[in-house]
């Protein structure tokens, strides 16, 4: 009869350092992640209750602040040049929707001028970006 | 003199530290509110679209002035919170009603968005934007 030997190898994995490993991974990914941010202009969006979801794939963002500055693709631009920029973007993809990121204190005449340019460029689908009620 | 050794351990228990960290992490994950951006979609008249003659009784003009006041043409001034009820009543009387938001060039963009929001909340289907002519 054979006597079963007790195995000396431990069958537990030490989990004490697990938290350290997780933290290291967390910090590694935090440092290496690059967010793609389109900054635009610092604005305060108007609030609206009836907003619907934005389809971010199809948006071109136009930013306008209350000092009448306009920015498309992170470049400041004059009102009269909007048509050319938008037209060239629509040649690549005619399905695009133009998103108005406009400060709520902006004079309406600027918005009206932008809309005139968009009509010239035949960019008829627009959306006015607003803040949902819960947003802070 | 012989010093007494203190029997109280000077270390504290760090085993539950990761649990506490996870609890904090989950708490902040749940309680963080992201700013939700929503859109108010509109279709602008393009170059190809034909202008349609509308009967006078099918058009309701809401005027937004530079001082922030709202006037329903033919009815009189309205407060912003009255607009939704007012439009709903008008739409029950005439479901084909086209609502024109006529904004003064010096008015705030936010006022126009407030009006547009109220109209969307009132389920108005035909909305048109117009800029007020000045100097006439």
The pLDDT, as a whole number, for residue A128 is 92
CB contact under 8 Å between B108 and A108, yes or no, is yes
- The interface pTM score, or ipTM, of the predicted complex is 0.70
The percentage of chain A sitting over the pLDDT mark of 90, rounded to a whole number, equals: 21
A134 has a pLDDT exceeding 60: no
pLDDT (tens place) for every residue of chain B, 136 residues total: 666 666 777 777 777 887 888 888 888 777 776 667 888 888 888 777 777 777 888 889 999 999 989 998 888 888 988 899 999 998 999 888 899 999 999 999 999 999 999 999 998 888 989 888 876 5
B122 in A contact zone (CB under 8 Å): no
Confirm whether B123 is domain-assigned. Answer: yes
CB contact under 8 Å between B108 and A106, yes or no, is yes
Q: How far apart are CA A2 and CA B56, in angstroms?
A: 107
The pLDDT, as a whole number, for residue B27 is 84
> Across the strands, what pairs with A60?
A98
Kindly report which listed range (A12-26, A51-65, A91-105) carries the lowest average pLDDT score: A12-26
CATH number for position B90:
3.30.420.270
The full set of domains in chain A, from first to last, is 56-128 (3.30.420.270)
Confirm whether B79 is domain-assigned. Answer: yes
Computed over every residue of chain A, the mean pLDDT equals: 83
Confirm whether B76 is domain-assigned. Answer: yes
Domain that holds residue B113: 57-131
Chain A residues whose beta carbon lies within 8 Å of the beta carbon of residue B36: 131-132, 134-135
Burial (0-12, 13-18, 19+ Cβ within 10 Å), A53: exposed
CB contact under 8 Å between A135 and B34, yes or no, is yes
A41 has a pLDDT exceeding 70: yes
Mutant choice from B14, B23, B105, B113 vs A, greatest count of A C-beta within 10 A: B113
CB contact under 8 Å between B42 and A128, yes or no, is yes
Chain B residues whose beta carbon lies within 8 Å of the beta carbon of residue A53: 38-39
The pLDDT, as a whole number, for residue A136 is 41
Give residue-wise pLDDT tens across range A72-82.
878 888 989 89
Residues with Cβ within 8 Å of A110's Cβ and at least 6 positions away in sequence, in order, are: A64, A68, A70, A79, A102, B109
CB contact under 8 Å between A52 and B17, yes or no, is no
Tally of domains within chain B: 1
Confidence of residue A36 (pLDDT cuts 50, 70, 90): low
CB contact under 8 Å between B108 and A105, yes or no, is yes
């Amino acid at each position: 009869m054979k006597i079963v030997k007790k195995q000396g190898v431990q069958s537990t994995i030490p989990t004490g350092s697990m938290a350290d490993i997780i933290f290291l991974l967390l910090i590694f990914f935090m440092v290496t992640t690059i967010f793609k941010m389109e900054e635009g202009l610092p604005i305060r969006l108007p609030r609206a209750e009836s907003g619907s979801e934005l389809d971010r794939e199809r948006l071109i963002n136009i930013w306008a602040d209350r000092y009448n500055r306009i920015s498309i693709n992170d470049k400041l631009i004059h009102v009269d040049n909007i048509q050319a920029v938008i037209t060239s973007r629509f040649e690549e993809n005619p399905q695009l929707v133009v998103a108005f990121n406009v400060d709520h204190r902006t004079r309406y005449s600027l918005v009206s001028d932008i809309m005139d340019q968009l009509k010239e460029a035949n960019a008829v689908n627009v959306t006015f970006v607003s803040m949902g009620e819960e947003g802070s | 003199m012989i010093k007494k050794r203190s029997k109280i351990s000077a270390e504290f228990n760090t085993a539950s530290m990761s649990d506490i960290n996870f609890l904090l992490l989950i708490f902040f994950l749940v309680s963080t509110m992201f700013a939700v951006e929503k859109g108010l979609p509109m279709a602008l008249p393009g170059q190809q679209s034909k202008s349609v003659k509308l009967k006078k009784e099918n058009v309701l003009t809401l005027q937004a002035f530079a001082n922030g006041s709202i006037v329903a043409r033919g009815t009189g001034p309205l407060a912003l919170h009255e607009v939704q009820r007012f439009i709903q009543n008008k739409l029950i009387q005439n479901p084909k009603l086209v609502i024109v938001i006529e904004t003064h060039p010096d008015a705030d963009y936010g006022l126009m968005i407030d009006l547009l929001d109220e109209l969307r909340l009132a389920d108005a289907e035909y909305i048109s934007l117009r800029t007020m002519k000045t100097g006439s």
